[in-house]
Amino acid sequence: MRNVKIITDSCADLGADILEKYNIDFVKMSIIEDGKESPALLTWSKEDAHRLYDTIRAGKRITTAQVCVEEFTTVFTKYLEANCDIVYIGCSSKQSGSVNTGFVSAQKLLAKYPEARIYCIDSLNASMGEGMLAVEAAKLAADGKNADEINDHILSVRKNVNQFVTVHTLDHLKKAGRVSASSAFFGNLMGVKPILVSDVNGVQIAIKKVKGRQNSFTEIVKCLKECITEPEDKTVYIAHADCDQTELDALVTTVKNEIPCKDVYVGLIGPIIGASIGPDAVGIWAFGQTVTYAAEEK
Structural domain boundaries in the chain: 3-158, 160-287
Spatial distance between the Cα atoms of 55 and 182, rounded to a whole number of angstroms: 24
pLDDT at position 204 is: 87
Spatial distance between the Cα atoms of 52 and 56, rounded to a whole number of angstroms: 6
Q: What is the mean pLDDT of residues 273-293?
A: 95
Taking the CB of residue 221, how many other CB atoms lie within 10 A of it? 19
Closest CA to 166 of 223, 109, 87: 223
Q: Is the per-residue pLDDT at 186 higher than 60?
A: no
Q: Is the per-residue pLDDT at 176 higher than 90?
A: no
Q: Select the CATH number that applies to the domain covering 3-158 from these four: 3.40.50.10170, 3.30.420.40, 3.90.180.10, 3.30.1340.10.
A: 3.40.50.10170
Q: Is the per-residue pLDDT at 193 higher than 70?
A: yes
Reduced to 3 states (helix: H, G, I; strand: E, B; else coil), residue 128 is: helix
Spatial distance between the Cα atoms of 145 and 165, rounded to a whole number of angstroms: 32
Spatial distance between the Cα atoms of 116 and 140, rounded to a whole number of angstroms: 18
Closest CA to 256 of 236, 240, 239: 236
Q: What is the pLDDT of residues 216-259, one digit of tens each?
A: 999 999 999 999 999 999 999 999 999 999 999 999 999 999 99
Closest CA to 250 of 292, 275, 218: 218
Taking the CB of residue 298, how many other CB atoms lie within 10 A of it? 4
Average pLDDT, the chain: 91
Share of the chain above pLDDT 70, in %: 92
Closest CA to 192 of 175, 206, 176: 206
Spatial distance between the Cα atoms of 84 and 6, rounded to a whole number of angstroms: 10
Q: What is the mean pLDDT of residues 43-52?
A: 94
Share of the chain above pLDDT 90, in %: 84
Spatial distance between the Cα atoms of 9 and 29, rounded to a whole number of angstroms: 7
Q: Select the CATH number that applies to the domain covering 160-287 from these four: 3.40.50.2300, 3.30.365.10, 3.30.1180.10, 3.40.50.410.
A: 3.30.1180.10
pLDDT at position 179 is: 41
